[in-house]
Amino acid sequence: MKCKYLDHQVCVKTSGEYRLCCISNEPTNRENVTTHTVDDWRNSATYQNAIATFENGLFPKACEKCKIQEEAGETSQRTRPRQYGPGISHLDLRFGSNCNLQCTMCYPGVSSSLAKEHQEMLKQGIDSPWGDEPFPNFDWYTDERGEYLATLPELREVYLTGGEPMMVKGLHKFLQKLDSSVEVRFNTNATIMNPNIYEELKRFETVNMCFSIDGIGKVNDYIRWGSNWQQVETNMLKWAEIVKYKSLGPTIQVLNLHHYETIIDWCKKHDFQFFDNLLMNPEYLNTKNAPDEIKQYCPEKFKYWVDQPADIIQQEAFKKWISIFDKQRGCSLKEYIPEVAKAYGIN
């Protein structure tokens, strides 16, 4: 057995730590892009043991997600048909945790704005859904590290996410170092339009932008707190003029399940692809825990998941955390997404 991600991709998370892949769940790795080269990582015990385990026909413990999917007869990240190699052909880079948004379902370890809000809540003695500890801000990108990664000799694709990749100060220099044949893929919140990046991207044969949009209009404004739909829509349509592939990638959760078809309609109207991502955590935003009034809007493809019995404790948790966020942010769910407020009995 083999995995193309291990053989041909290098994944670096927001803290700079190397990972087997973006969904592997090995314990914290010692090898970090600030202290170790890609070769150090690939010679490490974690990496070598994973390769050896596959060679023995078994899944490494860290690759449980693919194992479960494959044993259920489904396609996994490992088996998805994509061309990787030869050599290190793919990079998955999270250039730190700087982010201008406070998306409700996101995590302070990947958004500096959420980390700040969490810190503020702790300071004021307010319960936070992320516990009692502050989160560090990760910012490992330097031009030297960027150049090292961008000039790996067999590179064919770079996937940039974060944090918010458009906020990385050295992004322009990083892109300048890439060969124009390298496919550049972004996961971005579409709030930032940097003219230098826009011009630089025109040089590449393939740019693939997946916009993380969780609703159209006010639904997006509420979930992706700090963003403004009009600005986001204007930016997406401008990016669409120069990129080869454009898509919306909503994270489907309690707050937007009822709105699923509206997002698809927007994609059809503007000729964008649609790649949904079903949220698992936090549990209180997981669609399986939604009230029936919301579940009735579930698309056929998610029924297997959403139709599980809801956990009432998670519905109470939803009310608690939404009320805390609304107070902290000076807004109200009822004003932005009245259907969901009503389903939970929030006035």
Ligand X SMILES: C[S@@+](CC[C@H](N)C(=O)[O-])C[C@H]1O[C@@H](n2cnc3c(N)ncnc32)[C@H](O)[C@@H]1O
Binding mask 147-186 for ligand X (x = CB under 6 A): --------------xx-x----------------------
* Strand runs labelled E in 149-299: 157-161, 183-188, 207-211, 224-225, 245-248, 251-252, 273-274, 277-278
Task: Tell me whether residue 111 or residue 253 sits nearer to ligand SF4 (CB atom).
Answer: 111
212 touching ligand X, by CB under 6 A: yes
- DSSP character string of 274-299: E--EE--SSGGG-GGGS-HHHHTT--
Q: Which tokens sit at 317? A: 């948790």
By beta-carbon proximity to ligand SF4, the closer residue of 15 and 89 is 15
Q: Per-residue x/- mask for ligand SF4, residues 91 to 130, rule CB under 6 A?
A: --------x-xxx--x---xx--x----------------
Minimum distance, C-beta of residue 135 to ligand SF4, in the bound complex (Å) = 12
H or E element at residue 102: strand 102-103
Binding flag, residue 224, ligand SF4 (CB under 6 A): yes
**How far is Cα 275 from Cα 95, in angstroms, rounded to an integer?**
23
162 binds ligand SF4 per the rule CB under 6 A: yes
Residue 24, amino acid: S
**Residue 257 binding ligand X, by CB under 6 A:** no
Least gap, CB of 214 to ligand SF4 (angstroms): 9
Q: Which residue has the tokens 């599980």?
A: 308
Report CA-CA distances (Å) from 16 to 36, 191, 321. Answer: 10, 24, 30
CB of 237 to ligand SF4, least distance (A): 19
Q: Would the CA dihedral through 38, 43, 46, 52 be positive or negative?
A: positive
* Residues numbered 31-70 forming contacts with ligand SF4, rule: CB under 6 A: none
Stretch that binds ligand X, among 17-25, 102-110, 114-122, 229-237 (CB under 6 A): 102-110
Determine the distance from the C-alpha atom of residue 227 to the mean position of all C-alpha atoms in its chain, rounded to a whole number: 16
Instruction: Report if residue 21 touches ligand X, rule: CB under 6 A.
Output: no
Instruction: State which residue, 9 or 212, has the beta carbon closest to ligand SF4.
Output: 212
Q: Does 235 bind ligand X (CB under 6 A)?
A: no
Figure out which of the listed residues 9, 76, 189, 256 binds ligand SF4, where binding follows CB under 6 A. 189
At 274, phi and psi to the nearest 5?
-135, 120
Smaller CB distance to ligand X: residue 160 or 298?
160
Beta strands at 207-211 and 245-248: parallel, antiparallel or unpaired = parallel
Main-chain dihedrals φ then ψ at residue 292, nearest 5 degrees: -55, -35
Q: Which of 128, 189, 235, 256 binds ligand X (CB under 6 A)?
A: 189
Q: Judged by CB under 6 A, how many residues of this single chain contact ligand X?
A: 17
Does residue 188 interact with ligand X by CB under 6 A?
Answer: yes
Told to check if 249 binds ligand X by CB under 6 A, we report yes
Q: CA-to-CA distance for 52 and 47, rounded, in angstroms? A: 9
Strands 90-94 and 245-248: unpaired
Residue 160 makes contact with ligand SF4 by CB under 6 A: no
Residue 243: which of ligand SF4, ligand X, none does it interact with, CB under 5 to 8 A by kind? none
Give the integer Cα–Cα distance in Å for 140 and 97: 9
**Shortest distance, position 162 Cβ to ligand X, whole Å:** 5
- Nearest residue to ligand X, using CB? 212
**How deeply is 197 buried, as exposed, middle or buried, from its count of CB atoms within 10 A (0-12, 13-18, 19+)?**
middle
Q: Which residues are at the interface with ligand SF4 (CB under 6 A)?
A: 99, 101-103, 106, 110-111, 114, 162-164, 189, 212, 224
